[in-house]
Amino acid sequence: MATADILYGTAASLTMTLASLASDTNLSTGRQSAARDNSTALDIDDLVGGIITASTLATVAGLQAEVWLAGSYDGTTYSAGASGTDSAFSPGSKKTLLKLLTIIPFTTLAAATPMQWGPFSVAQAFGGVIPQKWSVFIVHNSSAALNASSSLHEVKYTPINFTSA
């Protein structure tokens, strides 16, 4: 009888410029990553996670970063008007069309303390099936721009498949 075993691929980075990302008190304008294209890889899921680092000590309650996913049903059009490119993004009232992965509280963080988030299943966020293409959207209201060092931020994904024996 054949058995299926999980097969983890090699972690890869998504292009996303988080260094010095400005704070937005309304948690509306942030940054989106370049898209992860699964249309030829055909992985059954991706685990996504990363690191985000504030630049100053957060002392006010309610300061946070939000991590969202945008997906594409046709490989071209993304939810909430995202583009799948590493760029500034402001979904406005369409933000509810994105998939919230996590909220990272900044209140107890010391300055320059990297906060790891994830891993999260992309397929699970989209109801069980990974979209052809997807990207990450991050926004924060930490009251100051994120840390300016690009080495203190990352967004990575690990592809998942099954192998049979």
Q: Delimit the domains of the chain by residue range.
A: 17-164
| Average pLDDT value for the chain | 92
Report which DSSP code applies to 54: B
Least trusted range by pLDDT, from 49-53, 141-145, 157-161:
141-145
70, 78 contact by CB (below 8 A): yes
Query: Percent of the chain having pLDDT more than 90?
Result: 80
- pTM value is 0.93
130, 46 contact by CB (below 8 A): yes
64, 106 contact by CB (below 8 A): yes
Please, what is the end-to-end C-alpha distance for the chain in angstroms? 9
Q: Look at residue 63 in the predicted model and tell me its pLDDT.
A: 85
Report which DSSP code applies to 147: P
What pLDDT, in 10s, does the model give residues 79-129?
999 999 999 999 999 999 999 999 998 766 666 788 899 999 999 999 999
Asked if residue 44 has pLDDT above 70, the reply is yes
Asked if residue 7 has pLDDT above 70, the reply is yes
CATH topology of domain 17-164: Jelly Rolls (2.60.120)
Residue 152: CB partners within 8 Å, gap ≥ 6? Answer: 19, 51, 53, 112, 114
Asked if residue 155 has pLDDT above 70, the reply is yes
User: What φ, ψ does residue 124 adopt, rounded to 5°?
Assistant: -60, -40
pLDDT band at 165 (very low <50, low <70, confident <90, very high): confident
